[in-house]
Every structure is written in structure tokens, then in C-alpha cells.
Amino acid sequence: MSDPAFQRIRRFSRGVWVLGTIAIIAIALFTLPQLYLDGDRIVDGAFYEGPISPWHQDDPVELAIKDGHVTGDRQGGWIPLRSGSEPLTVRLIEVDDDQYIRIHQTPDAGTVAADSPPHLGSLWDEVDRVHVVPALTDGRLWFRTDAPSWEVAVTPIGATPIRDAEASGAGDAVLSYRGDALSARFTHTGPGFLRVTIVSPGATELAINAVDDVSTRASWDAPGTVLFMIESSAGDWSVAVDE
């Protein structure tokens, strides 16, 4: 057999092999289960769509607080956030299948988010905490997870209300303000560090992380109840809300 003829046969055979391989892969993708490992579970990817977004359901599950605890399943659900209620801390008690729980807040119970409502944080283990404050209108606190069962503790935060828009002190403190203001000035005198975490409706932000003398203004986006979580190693601090 001549060399040109041999080369043509070899190219033809290679082409047939490539086309056959592509056809086999295509058939496998459409006919075999698309399996992957999700934690310690094998999941069929053809039918798995991830955790349910309860805020997109026609009739989302309203969960109940019983003895300071909330339990649920993969459906997730919500609890009401009354406009005049106390700030809350949510912590994980138990969750199945090595999953986690995402916490979201709808500041206004009458609205349905086209996308996810503001994400406050996630609970992965018992040391995690998510802090929640109500808006000026009744809202909802949402729980989203892929765990078949879970339990969280929901407890009030012991915050000190700010009187006449001003407060001062030393050391650590948790202060609460309720009103229409959207900013405040924070000062710190003396040695040591000052950290201020601001928890507002739908958001948590480390607003100040500084040392020694500090005088700075921090802001938040939504009116309502606001927490100022102050950490100070030494020196004196003050807060003046811009009403």
C-alpha cells in the first residue's frame, strides 16, 4: 500500500474515532444520572436545584418561636419582625448533613424581593451569631437552607438605649438607637483600640477599626432600630447621633 493511501486511511480512522467518542459522551450526558458529592450525600444534578428560596414561594412557611427556639426543614421559612420589637441574636443549635443556614431580612413585610432579600449572615456552627434589628415597618426574618432539619435559638439582645442622641463610656458596650437618623459621630481618646460594628435593618458593617485618638462619622442606609456594638481596650469613647 502506498504511503499516501495509508495516510488517508489513518486520517479517516482517526476522524471516525473522534466522532464516535463525541457521540458517546453526548449520549452519556443525556442518559446517565449527573451525580456529584454534596457534603456526604450523592446528589442527582439533573434534579437538584439547591436550597429553596422561601421568599419566592406562593405560601412560604411561617415558623414559630417556641421557648426561644425555631425549628424547620428544607422548606425554610420566616418569622415576623415587628417594627417595635427588640433586636435579636440568632445562633445555631443543630443542623443536619453538615449544612448551614442563611439568614435574610425583608424590612417591609409587604414587599416580595425579585432577588434575594438582604443577607444578614450565615450560621455554620455553634459559635456563629447573626444580629437582627427591625425596620420602621413590620418585616420578616427568613431562613434558607438545604438541611433536612435544623434548630436555632432566637433571643433578645440586651442593648442600652441611647438617650437624647448621645452616649459615652469606656470598655465594651452594646447601644441601641431608634429613629430616622442615618449617621453618628464616634470619638475615642487615650490609648487602645476602638471597633464599632453597626447593625441596621438588613445590614451589618464593621464601621470603625482604629487605635488611640479617633473622631469620625459613620453612616447606615436604613432608618429604624440601629445597634452600635462597641469594643474598646482602653480610653474613653462617645457617640453623638446626627438627628
Amino acid at 32: L
**Residues facing 195 on adjacent strands:** 209, 231
Q: How far apart, in whole angstroms, are the C-alpha atoms of residue 232 and residue 111?
A: 39
pLDDT tens digits, 135-180:
989 999 999 999 999 999 999 998 999 999 999 999 999 999 999 9
Residue range 182-195: mean pLDDT, rounded: 94
**CA-to-CA separations, 140 to 6, 94, 112, 118, in angstroms, rounded:** 74, 22, 11, 11
* Coil, helix or strand at residue 7: helix
Q: State the CB neighbour count (10 A cutoff) for residue 147.
A: 21
Identify which of 129, 122, 127, 130 has the alpha carbon closest to the alpha carbon of residue 147: 122
Going along 157-192, which residue ranges are E strands? 160-161, 166-169, 173-179, 183-189
pLDDT tens digits, 58-86:
899 999 999 999 999 999 999 999 998 99
